[in-house]
Chains A and B, each alone.
Chain A
Amino acid sequence: MEYILGIFELSAINLVAVLGLSILTGFTGLFSFGHAGFMAIGAYVGGILTKNLHYPFWVAIIAAGLSAGLVSIVIGRLTLKLKGDYFCIATMGFGEAVRLIFSNMNYVNGARGLADIPQFKGASLAIPFVVAVIAIVVAWNLVNSRQGRNMVAVREEELAAQMAGINVLGSKMVAMIASAVLAGVAGALMANFIGFIAPKSFNMTKSTELTIIVIFGGLGSISGSVIGAFLLTALPELLRAFSDWRLVFYGLAVIVIMVGRPQGLLGGSELTPSGIRKMLADRKAKAAFARAKAGGRES
C-alpha cells in the first residue's frame, strides 16, 4: 500500500514539473533540455530551508518556486533571443552548469548530496497532491487566457504573432518564468518527499525524461501532460519485475507511441467535454477536406 502511495506521490511531483515544461514546450514551442536545473534549484532551496533553517514545508515550497523563477528571468534574458536549436543547447548548458555548481558546493555536501531532509509524513503526505491540483488549475487558466493564446501564437507563427501586436519576447519570458516556478516547486516537493537529494538526481537524463513525458502526452495539451506524467512515472515501477530490462521496455513503449501517434496521446486537444467535441468535429472536417481534394474541387 505504502509502495503504491509512493508511486502516486512521485507521479504528482513529476506532474508539477511536467506541467511547467508543457507550458514552455507544448504551448510556446521552446524545447528545453535543462529543466532539471530549475528542479535542482528548487530542491536545494527547499532542502536547506527545511533542514538547516527549520522552516515549514509550505514556506520552503513557495521560496523554491520563487528562486527558480528569479533564476529563469536571468537565463531568459540571456537565451530567449536564440532561435530553435540554439536555445535548446543553451538550456542544456544551463542544466549541466547548475548540477556542477551544486556538486562543488561544500555547504550542501557537494556530490555526496544533502541527506536527512525533513520528510512528508502523515497528513503532510497530501501536500504533493494539493500542489499538483493547484498547478493543474493555474496552468489550465494560464493557457486559456489571452497571455496563453499569445504563447500559442508565438509557437504557431512568430512573425504573424508580432504583426498581431504580440510581444514575442515578453510572451516567451512569461512562459519561461511560469515553467521555472513549477519546476522549482516540484524540486522542493521531491526533496521533502524523498528526504535526500544529490546533484546527480538532476542530470540531463532527468531533463530529457521531462521532455519525453511532455511529447508523449502531446504538445499543447494540459490533460495530455497529466496523463503522460502518471503513466510514464508509474511505468518503470510496474516494469520492475523485468529488473534489468525495464528501461528497455520503457524506451520501447515510448517509441511505439511516437511511431503510432506522432502528435502524442492528446496533441493539441483536451479531455474536456468541449475538447472532445472539437476533436470529433476536426476529424470530420479533415475527412471532408481530404474528400474534396480527392475530387479535385475545393469549397
Chain B
Amino acid sequence: MSVPILELKGLTKRFGGLTAVNDVSFRVEEGGISGLIGPNGAGKTTIFNLITGVYKVSAGDILYKGASIADKEPYKIADLGVTRTFQNIRLFKNLTVLDNVLTASHMSAKYGLAEALFRLPRFRRDEKALREKTMELLSIMGLADRAEVVSNNLPYGLQRRLEITRALALNPKLLLLDEPAAGMNPDETNQLMRLIGEIRGKFKLSVLVIEHHMDLIMGVCEHIHVLNFGCTLADGKPETVANDPKVVDAYLGAEETK
C-alpha cells in the first residue's frame, strides 16, 4: 500500500485535565476525500488545529507523506502543502478579493526584501506573474468579476468560496475544510459539493472535511472517520459507517427524531 498523504497515529491532546482528543488514528489516502464527523465537542476542530500546528500535540504523531509534522511551526506546515479553511470564516476582511488571494500566493514569488524595496527587475517580473496566476485562479473559481470588491462586502456564500480560493493559492496537497457548508442553504450546499469534487481533480488535492450536513458527507466522501468525546467511534466507507449501530446511536440517531 502506498504512503498515505496524512496519517494520525495515536493522536492525543490534553488541555489541563480535559482530554479533547484521545488516541485517534486514521489516514487520508492520496487524492481521496475523507470526512471527519461527530457531535459538537467531539474534538474535530481540535484535530485540525493539531494537524496545522496551531496546538502542540500531547502524545502520538502526525505524519504528512510519511514524515512527522507534529513539532513544526504552523507557517512551515502550510509551506509543505497543508492548509485549511475555518469554521467561522477568517478572511482578510478589509482587503479586496484579489488581495486576499494575492497575499496567500506569496510563496510563488521568489524576490527578496531588498529587491522589493528598490523594485529591481525580478520584483516586477514576479509580481506580474503572481497577478496573472491569481486572476486565473479567480476565474476558475468564478470570482474574477468580483476581484476588486472588499471581501467583507461579499455575500456569505462567496466569502466561503473566497476562503477556499485563498487556500488553493498556496498550491496545497492537502486541504482541510472546517464545516464549509455551515450556514448554507441546500442549493448552496449542492454547489459546494460539486466544487469540492471539481477542485480535487483540477488541483490534484487530497481533502479532509469536517461537516454536519450528512448529505454532503455521504455525497462526496470516500472514507469517513467518526469521533465522539475525543475518541474514535467508527472508521470506514460511508455505507458501513452509516449503518454502524454505535454511530446511529451517538450521532446519526438525531436524524430520525428530526
Contacts and interface: CB of A to CB of B under 8 A. Distances in A.
Nearest to B90: A160
Contacts of B53: 162
A165 B156 contact: no
A156 B99 CA distance: 12
Nearest to A289: B153
Contact of A285 (B90, B93, B118, B153): B153
B106 A149 contact: yes
Contacts of B153: 282, 285-286, 289
A160 B86 contact: yes
B106 A146 contact: yes
A167 B96 CA distance: 22
Nearest to A281: B148
B111 A156 contact: no
B103 A162 contact: no
A207 interface: no
Contacts of A146: 103, 106, 109, 111, 116, 127, 130
A165 B78 contact: yes
The majority secondary structure among interface residues of chain B is mixed
Interface in B84-107: 84, 86, 90-96, 99, 102-104, 106-107
B34 interface: no
Interface centre among A164, A166, A167, A220 (most CB of B within 10 A): A164
Nearest to A263: B94
B95 A152 contact: yes
A174 B113 contact: yes
B24 to A, nearest CB: 21
A150 B94 contact: no
B223 interface: no
A269 to B, nearest CB: 10
B3 interface: no
B197 interface: no
B91 A160 contact: yes
A161 B167 CA distance: 11
A173 B127 CA distance: 23
The majority secondary structure among interface residues of chain A is helix
Contacts of B149: 281-282, 285
A163 B83 contact: yes
A157 B90 contact: yes
Nearest to B101: A164
Nearest to B123: A145
B93 A157 contact: yes
Contacts of A168: 75
Nearest to A157: B90
B75 A162 contact: yes
B155 interface: yes
B79 interface: yes
Given A141-B116, A157-B92, A165-B75, A149 B103 contact: yes
Contacts of B109: 146
B119 interface: yes
A142 B52 CA distance: 29
B106 A165 contact: yes
A156 B91 CA distance: 8
A292 to B, nearest CB: 8
A252 interface: no
A298 B86 CA distance: 22
Interface in A275-298: 278, 281-282, 285-286, 289, 292, 298
Nearest to A162: B74
B210 interface: no
Nearest to B166: A164
Contact of B106 (A159, A166, A220): A166
A168 B78 CA distance: 12
Interface of B: 52-54, 73-75, 78-79, 83-84, 86, 90-96, 99, 102-104, 106-107, 109, 111, 113, 116-119, 123, 127, 130, 148-150, 153, 155-156, 166-167, 169-170
20 contacts: A138-B118, A141-B117, A142-B116, A145-B111, A145-B113, A145-B117, A146-B103, A147-B113, A149-B103, A150-B103, A156-B95, A159-B90, A161-B103, A163-B84, A166-B106, A220-B94, A281-B149, A282-B149, A282-B150, A282-B153
Interface of A: 138, 141-142, 145-150, 152-153, 156-157, 159-168, 174, 220, 268, 278, 281-282, 285-286, 289, 292, 298-299
Shortest beta-carbon contacts, A-B, top 9: A145-B116, A165-B78, A156-B92, A160-B90, A162-B74, A164-B104, A146-B106, A149-B103, A298-B155
